Amino acid sequence: MTLKYFLKKRKDCYNLMHVVFFSTEAKCELVKQYMRRKMRKRAKTALALLLALSCSFSTYVSAATIANETVLSEGIKQSFPEEKNTTSSENVMEENALEENVMEKNVVEEEMAEIESETTEEMFFAEKELSGVLVTVQADSGVFPKGATLRVRKLSRGEEQKVDSAVKEKLQEDKENLLQSIIFDISVLDKAGEEIQPDTAKGEVKVSFSKLSFLEENAEKQISVFHLDSVDAAAEKLETEKIEEKENAVKVSAEHFSVFAVSLVEKESSWKELAYLSDTIAVELGELITIHELLHSYVLRCRVIPETNPTVIGIKHDAYGQLAIEALHEGTAKLLVTQRNGEGELTKEFKIIVQKAPLSGRLGKQIEYSITGSGNDMTLTIRGRGETDAFELAPWEPYRNKIRRVIIEEGIKKLNIKTEAFGSMEYLETVSLPSTLTEIPNRAFYSSENLGDVTIPASVRRIGKMAFYKFLYNEKKNTIINHSPVFISEKGVSHYNPDYTSVQQAAKEDGEKKENISFKNVNFYTLPEINKYFFEFEVTGNPFINFYLYKTEDPSEVVGIQNFTDDSGKFKKSLSLGSLTPDAQCRVPEVNKIFISYLFDFRDTSTLSFLPGHTYYCTFLTDPGGRKSPSSETQLLQKVITVSDEARLPSVDGNFSWQLTGEKKPYTLTIEGSGRMQGLTANGELRSWNKLLNALRNRAHLELKGNITALDSHALAGVDYIDKGLVLPDSIVEIGDSVFSEKTIWGNLVFPKNLKKIGNSAFRYLTYKGDLSLPDELESIGESAFRNLKETNTITIPASVTHIGAGAFYKDKMNFKGKNRIVNHSSLKLGTRYVNPLFTDYTPDDSGEAPIPSYSGNGGGSSGRGSSSGGSGGSGGGSSSGGSSGTPMVLGADRNVPSNVNWQRDSKGWWILNPDGTYPKAQWLWINNRWYYFNQEGYMFTGWLFYNNAWYYFEENEGSEQGKMSVGWKELHGFWYYFSEEVGAESGKMRTGWQEVKSKWYYLNPKSGEENGKMLFNTKVEGYTLGPDGAWQTA
């Protein structure tokens, strides 16, 4: 999988594989970080005195409370009951305690209150996400002044090219090639908004880049990080401290902030290994892309071998004079590229696929989309009912920078699109949100800088973070009119940027929600099979926590926070067990638990060593957020640990047993049993083999034996990398939800012969290099079961399959080596909801899909507007089907409409037949001096219409008035509404608030929902009396 398709056609990127980010200067940071005010001087002095005199304020706990139990306390000292000490031989630890890792994307900033000195300095922690990459900066206290903020910006294309050149020049010194780069301008600002540099005399600064997809795709390549003082400066290679492959992150120390480049590189000699591989690259029809951007390599010359006629691609120079290929026609071509190779040359062949993305398609069982228009003046329309299927990238991604208008019609409730559904659309100006919409996704309109005013309907119950966030000033601020009960904030989740957007809303702020951190339990287990032991921590809440251990064999020793800190008040590194990081944890969202394990060797002789036969009185300290000194959230948990046979991890768990063999990693874990293999106990605890897998650092060779009938969801929780292949016993008839999701299998995967059912997301994101021939007795394949496989696989579906869930074989992106292939022997028709033809060799068949329903106003929306139709139910308009004529004016059409209008009627409603056989759709028509609207299917619309953030009403009753847009006063279901009589763009819009009509003032309810627009009467508003006719009574 690569990011090339993810980024193509966007304003901030001109290539498919070269992962760099372009944009004009971002004038404000992504997410504003706020910290709790420091303690007042008096409180700090008192607390410092308390710590200095800690012995006088110790809290002691009785033996009955402590013995063999866990006791939770916050910042208090504890003592242990006396127990007899024993001795044994000394041991050596196999692995050092883990260092701190970067914080995950979903960890929001937390307010902190720390024990501080008399200065105003404090620890700095901030993170910003830009184009899918999370940048985290951590600094010791005093390195940055109080109130400092982080800013991360994209660079322009010209600046990117300068940085690339500098990085290449640096790489040449080590005879390395640049494959791919991610480039950011990172700076820290003081309260006045001025750039500042770190005071490294007061501490260290760490910069982490996480969620780097190319790390996942190119684990065998080298990652380097470069720093440049400016885009014109030389590149300095920074020392990489660590790379977390599971989290796809790299971390470096920094002494100066400006431009950083995270680069994927390889030695020149490694091209020999790739010389005879034919990489596949997808290019959008009409695209012009440089050879360097396409291949990330030094190129001497290249030529095209035509495989079709006319030629699919051509070679030319772009506007910058760089050699480029132009995608001329759909098809495939071979590109031969000659590169330097030491003293000689090397020619490599690439397969180029030129394809055109569809202009319409399915989004769900009852939802479809279509794109109309041309150039950069396209309109995206989404119509239907309910919610969409799940997508990582929107199907209209290739047209992102050509869409100017988005129309989401009535009936749509939820868009399940993970990444910027309508974000980074360079030309997007208007969006129409329906009154049925319940949720706006995260980053829905993120960085769509030209977006105008937006009205959020009252039906919305969730607005995702950074949904309307802008970076650039565009003549004037746009306005978000929020009728929903969801408060739109400029803080915390940062729905919008107040510098470029204003908000009108009645919703009230609930106050900042803070996630509770809880250290639930700690278990100690021994593994005599491999002469090791491990701790297992159970926590809830913040997924980034530091762990420390202080142990003693003296039961009378008083232990408190002061045992964990040095003279400067910082935590002692020697007591650190590590941090809760994604590659050291097992998450169980069903029970809101996270399990973290740390494995050690009995031969360790460090301060953390545990000797067989000894009893230790252990105090575990946790502190969330990566702090280096205690805080109000610091927690202590105590446990008495005796290293004995009773601490051995049980090898029998229910109907299953396990055996661990091997002298070094990866160890072989054999699990044998009968019945369903469940990964969780009834109270949400991990099974013993899952505990073991988690402790083995997520990697093992697995052998499954016995009469296992099913693998439940968490059956293999804890393992991410399975060595030497996997043979699943033939007794297995069911593979549950997500069992192999995000796992890597090296070697052959053998399916059970008797397998009947594959659950939802069972193999989603699987990394496996072989083909997948599903067994002949398989009957059911769940939703997203094989979605976004990481390799280029051929999947064979047997004839026995009778059910396939949505998205089962869908791919959101092109694999690095090309398209997947589907061989379908079943009788089921696989449409575009199941297979994406852009990235899979398969011709979808949507004929098995049900028709998209027209919204009737009764589909569960919250508009309270009664019914509306796009022609359903036999509604009509105009005169008889013989064809009344008029002189129409068409808005937003790309073609001329004849003056004689030929009305037609069928079972769904009225429509107009043009002489050329076409018909108007998604258009306004001016006929006989009245406006009509025709929906996406081409039928005359009746009832309430929410269009471009305004309500309109079209006559519903049968007769000559049907379908005409209402103007002036209109009585509907016993209530009066007023529709603007102005000529022009305001005509027909429903009015709210105080309105003057024919020299009289009326008040039309502005409240969202069913009351919206209704005229009030016989009441007082703002002290003014409204009469029985609704008019303000002046006397």
Cβ contact 743:721 at 8 Å: yes
Give long-range contacts, CB 8 A cutoff, 24+ apart: 1012-1018.
1012/458, 1012/483, 1012/864, 1012/951, 1013/951, 1013/977, 1013/978, 1014/975, 1014/976, 1014/977, 1015/975, 1015/976, 1015/977, 1015/978
Cβ contact 757:808 at 8 Å: no
Name the residue among 417, 697, 503 with its Cα closest to residue 582: 697
DSSP 676-702: EE-SB-TTSPBPHHHHHHHHTTTEEEE
pLDDT at 745: 93
pLDDT band at residue 462 under the 50/70/90 scheme: very high
Sign of CA dihedral 576, 581, 583, 589: positive
Burial class (CB within 10 angstroms; exposed 0-12, middle 13-18, buried 19+) of 460: buried
Q: pLDDT digit string (tens) for 700-754?
A: 999 999 999 999 998 998 888 999 999 999 999 999 999 999 899 999 999 999 9
Residue 979 contacts by C-beta under 8 Å, 6 or more apart in sequence? 952, 953, 965, 966, 967, 968, 969, 970, 988, 989, 990, 991
pLDDT of residue 570 exceeding 60: yes
Rounded Cα–Cα distance for residues 559 and 58 (Å) = 9
Cβ contact 248:213 at 8 Å: yes
pLDDT of residue 897 exceeding 90: no
Q: Which two tokens stand for residue 631?
A: 């805080």
The average pLDDT across 879-906 equals 47
Burial class (CB within 10 angstroms; exposed 0-12, middle 13-18, buried 19+) of 843: exposed
pLDDT at 455: 93
Name the residue among 575, 593, 603 with its Cα closest to residue 536: 593
pLDDT band at residue 758 under the 50/70/90 scheme: very high
pLDDT at 907: 81
Cβ contact 661:529 at 8 Å: yes
Angle, CA of 780, 783 and 788, to the nearest 5° = 115
Rounded Cα–Cα distance for residues 798 and 773 (Å) = 8
pLDDT at 271: 42
Tokens 């360790």 map to which residue?
Answer: 604
pLDDT of residue 894 exceeding 60: no
CATH of domain 518-647: 2.60.40
Rounded Cα–Cα distance for residues 42 and 33 (Å) = 26
The average pLDDT across 590-613 equals 79
Sheet holding 518-527, edge to edge: 518-527, 532-540, 593-601, 585-588
pLDDT at 509: 81
The average pLDDT across 259-270 equals 73
Rounded Cα–Cα distance for residues 412 and 397 (Å) = 20
pLDDT at 416: 94
Tokens 């993970």 map to which residue?
Answer: 418
CA distances from 858 to 305, 364, 527, 862, 972 (A): 58, 19, 62, 9, 17
DSSP one-letter code for 151: E
Rounded percentage of the chain residues whose pLDDT exceeds 70? 76
Rounded Cα–Cα distance for residues 529 and 757 (Å) = 36
Mean pLDDT estimate for the chain: 77
Q: pLDDT digit string (tens) for 678-706?
A: 988 877 788 999 899 888 877 899 999 99
pLDDT at 508: 85
pLDDT at 130: 78
pLDDT of residue 626 exceeding 80: no
Q: Which two tokens stand for residue 368?
A: 């479809």
Beta strands in 809-875 (DSSP E): 820-824, 840-841, 868-869
Between 60 and 483, residue with greater pLDDT? 483
Across 331-335, 753-757, 902-906, 935-939, which has the greatest mean pLDDT?
Answer: 753-757
Between 639 and 123, residue with greater pLDDT? 639
Count how many Cα atoms sit within 13 Å of the Cα of residue 200 in the half-sphere of its side chain: 9
The average pLDDT across 848-864 equals 55
703: β partners? 670
Rounded Cα–Cα distance for residues 578 and 95 (Å) = 11
Q: How many Å from the N-terminal Cα to the C-terminal Cα in the chain?
A: 75
Q: pLDDT digit string (tens) for 762-805?
A: 999 999 988 999 999 999 999 999 999 988 789 999 999 999 99
pLDDT at 106: 34
| C-alpha R_g of the chain | 33
Sign of CA dihedral 568, 569, 571, 574: positive
Q: pLDDT digit string (tens) for 163-186?
A: 888 888 888 777 677 777 889 999
pLDDT of residue 3 exceeding 60: no
pLDDT of residue 582 exceeding 80: no
Identify whether 666 is preceded by a cis peptide bond (ω within 30 of 0).
Answer: yes
pLDDT band at residue 437 under the 50/70/90 scheme: very high
Rounded Cα–Cα distance for residues 107 and 126 (Å) = 11
CATH architecture of 966-1035: Ribbon (2.10)
Q: What is the identity of the amino acid at 1011?
A: E
pLDDT of residue 5 exceeding 70: no
pLDDT at 754: 96
Q: Are strands 176-189 and 195-196 parallel, antiparallel or unpaired?
A: antiparallel
The average pLDDT across 329-345 equals 77
Would you tell me how many other CB atoms lie within 10 Å of the CB of residue 892? Answer: 12
Taking every pair of Cα atoms in the chain, the longest distance, rounded to a whole number of angstroms, is 104
Rounded Cα–Cα distance for residues 480 and 452 (Å) = 9
pLDDT band at residue 542 under the 50/70/90 scheme: low
Name the residue among 448, 415, 408, 401 with its Cα closest to residue 429: 448
pLDDT of residue 6 exceeding 70: no
Rounded Cα–Cα distance for residues 158 and 164 (Å) = 10
Sign of CA dihedral 833, 835, 838, 844: negative
Q: Which two tokens stand for residue 834?
A: 């199941």
Between 736 and 900, residue with greater pLDDT? 736
pLDDT at 439: 95
Between 523 and 818, residue with greater pLDDT? 523
670: β partners? 659, 703
Q: What three-state secondary structure class fits 162?
A: helix
The average pLDDT across 137-165 equals 84
Distance of CA 874 to the CA centre of its chain: 44
Rounded Cα–Cα distance for residues 881 and 879 (Å) = 7
Q: What three-state secondary structure class fits 697?
A: coil
DSSP one-letter code for 612: T
707: β partners? 674
> Which of 290-294, 609-613, 908-912, 1005-1009 has the lowest average pLDDT?
290-294
Sign of CA dihedral 247, 250, 253, 259: negative
The average pLDDT across 297-301 equals 69
pLDDT at 661: 92
Q: pLDDT digit string (tens) for 472-519?
A: 777 778 999 999 999 999 876 689 999 899 999 988 887 655 556 677
Give long-range contacts, CB 8 A cutoff, 24+ apart: 236-239.
236/170, 237/170
pLDDT band at residue 585 under the 50/70/90 scheme: low
pLDDT at 603: 79
| E strand or H helix that includes residue 637 | strand 635-642
Sign of CA dihedral 285, 290, 295, 296: negative
pLDDT at 296: 60
Rounded percentage of the chain residues whose pLDDT exceeds 90? 35
pLDDT band at residue 580 under the 50/70/90 scheme: low
CA distances from 771 to 790, 794, 878 (A): 12, 5, 60
Fold for the domain defined by 371-505: 3.80.10
Q: Which two tokens stand for residue 734?
A: 């069911």
Across 290-294, 743-747, 879-883, which has the greatest mean pLDDT?
Answer: 743-747
pLDDT at 942: 92
> Which of 201-205, 588-592, 987-991 has the lowest average pLDDT?
588-592
Q: Which two tokens stand for residue 454?
A: 């937006």
Q: What three-state secondary structure class fits 124?
A: strand
pLDDT of residue 564 exceeding 90: yes
Name the residue among 1001, 995, 1002 with its Cα closest to residue 1016: 1002
Q: Which two tokens stand for residue 732?
A: 């297995």
pLDDT at 95: 35
281: β partners? 352
Please report which residue ranges of 732-883 form alpha helices under DSSP H: none
pLDDT of residue 88 exceeding 60: no
Rounded Cα–Cα distance for residues 60 and 78 (Å) = 5
Q: What three-state secondary structure class fits 400?
A: helix
Tokens 């037949």 map to which residue?
Answer: 913
Cβ contact 2:217 at 8 Å: yes
pLDDT at 963: 94
pLDDT of residue 1015 exceeding 90: yes
The average pLDDT across 863-890 equals 37
Distance of CA 209 to the CA centre of its chain: 16
pLDDT of residue 908 exceeding 90: no
Burial class (CB within 10 angstroms; exposed 0-12, middle 13-18, buried 19+) of 118: exposed
CA distances from 944 to 94, 870, 957 (A): 71, 10, 13
pLDDT at 90: 35
pLDDT at 51: 41
pLDDT at 69: 35
